[in-house]
Amino acid sequence: MANKSKKWSNIYLIFVFILMYAPIFYLIFYSFNKGDFMADFSGFSWRHYIDMFADTRLMQILVNTFIVALLSALIATLIGLFGALGIYNTKQNNTKNILLSLNNILMVSPDVIIGASFLIFFTMVGLKLGFGSVVLAHIAFSIPIVVLMVLPKLNEMNPALVDAARDLGANNYQVLSRVILPYAWPGILSGFFMAITYSLDDFAVTFFVTGNGFSTLSVEIYSRARQGIDLSINALSALMFLLSLILVIIYYFISNYSSKGSKKKRGARMVVHQ
């Protein structure tokens, strides 16, 4: 009985994963196309990969994209984490709701609005448009998703946990670092990854706030769309995808290794609950 439901759940899992990866594999498949377009596979070729590496401009843009994504996601995660803690600690329910609504404003605003208003804001302040303004903008629009990912974890946390730690003589810092953060860690991590997603995907905001000599992959892809999607972009995406896959697998091995240490803590939490 249990086995059967397990089988079904595995089938479901595999099915959803196939759906999620179908377009990705489609993209990767056509990056090997001898022809120039994402249809009518006419033969295998490395041509688009060679083109891609020969295009130093594209490679430079790629590096820029990663710098912006990693840096902005990191800072957004840190700011968002403490923001979420602030909202969590707000005692008044009304204030809390207002804060949350404010937090979500950037999520509901279409990119053009965000981009245009950031552009006006940056030029008003006199900030030089370029790398700095792009990173700043990416941090700004990634913060809400981090808060949204971290906050539910905090809310779920049993307050008895914190109280118990206090009773045992833990100070604020210890409560934060030993109890709250480990508990919220999955939320923090997914906030970080979602921030990377937002940053990598953004076109409109980056377009508006970027200056001379600085561009990201999304801006390049969208501007090239008038001429049709170049398969060297496919090749690039395929490479990026494989690279991130490798990183994920490395992460998996590392976390597998380090999770042995955290088992103990989990045990401690159980005790508190009972």
Partner 1 sequence: MNRNRTFSYTIPYYLWLGLFVIAPVILLVIQSFGNLSGHFTLNNYATYFSSGTYLRMTFNSVFFAFIVTGITLLISYPMAYIMSRLKHAQFWLLLVILPTWVNLLLKAYAFIGLFSKTGTVNNFLTLIGVGPHQLMFTNLSFLIVAAYIEIPFMIMPIFNSLIELDKSYINAARDLGATSWQTLTKVIFPMSMGGVKAGIQAVFIPTLSLFMITRLIGGNRVITLGTAIEEHFLVTQNWGMGSTIGVILIVAMGLTMFLTRDRKKKGARHGK
Partner 2 sequence: MKKIIWLTGIILTAVCVLFGINLAFQHAEDTDTSTKSSGNRTLTIYNWGDYIDPTLLKEFQKETGYKVDYETFDSNEAMYTKIKQGGTHYDLAVPSDYMIQKMKSANLLVPLDHSKLTGLANYDKQFMNQSFDPNNKYSIPYFWGTLGIVYNDKYVKPGEITTWHDLWQPKYKKNIMLIDSSRDIMGMALASSGQSVNTKSIPELAAAKGKLDTLMPNVKAIVADEIKTYMAQDEAAIAVDYSGDASEMIAENKHLHYIVPSGGGNLWFDNIVMPKTVTNKRAAYAFLNFMSEPKHAAQNAEYVGYATPNRQAVNLLPKSVKNDKAWYPPKSTLSQLEVYQDLGPTWVGNYNDYFLEFKMTNR
Q: Which of 68, 73, 135, 140 binds partner 1 (CB under 8 A)?
A: 140
DSSP SS3 for 244 = helix
Structure tokens at 190: 């997914």
Among 49, 141, 183, 207, binds partner 2 (CB under 8 A): 207
- Provide the mask over 66-85, with x wherever binding to partner 2 is found by CB under 8 A and - wherever it is not: xx--xx-xx---x--x----
Are the CB atoms for 143 and 83 separated by under 8 Å? yes
What does the alpha-carbon distance between residue 71 and residue 199 come to, in Å, rounded to a whole number? Answer: 10
Q: Which residue has the tokens 């939490």?
A: 269
- By CB under 8 A, tell whether 118 contacts partner 2: no
Select the binding partner of residue 70 from partner 2, partner 1, none (C-beta < 5 to 8 A, by kind). partner 2
Which has the closest alpha carbon to 152: 225, 84, 56?
84
- Ramachandran assignment for 33, one of left (phi > 0), alpha (psi -120 to 50 degrees), beta (any other): beta
Supply the minimum distance, in Å, between the C-beta of residue 44 and partner 2.
19
Extract the tokens encoding 188: 């923090």
Binding mask 41-80 for partner 1 (x = CB under 8 A): -------------------------------------xxx
What's the CA gap between 97 and 143, in Å, rounded?
17
Q: Which does 122 bind (CB under 5 to 8 A by kind): partner 2, partner 1, none?
A: partner 2
Among 3, 89, 212, 258, binds partner 1 (CB under 8 A): 89
Least spacing, CB of residue 201 vs partner 2, in Å: 16
Contact code string over 159-198 relative to partner 2, x by CB under 8 A: -----------------xxx--xx--x--x---x------
Nearest-5° Cα angle at 200, 122 to 213: 50
Q: Does 246 bind partner 1 (CB under 8 A)?
A: no
Closest CA to 145 of 183, 182, 200, 95: 200
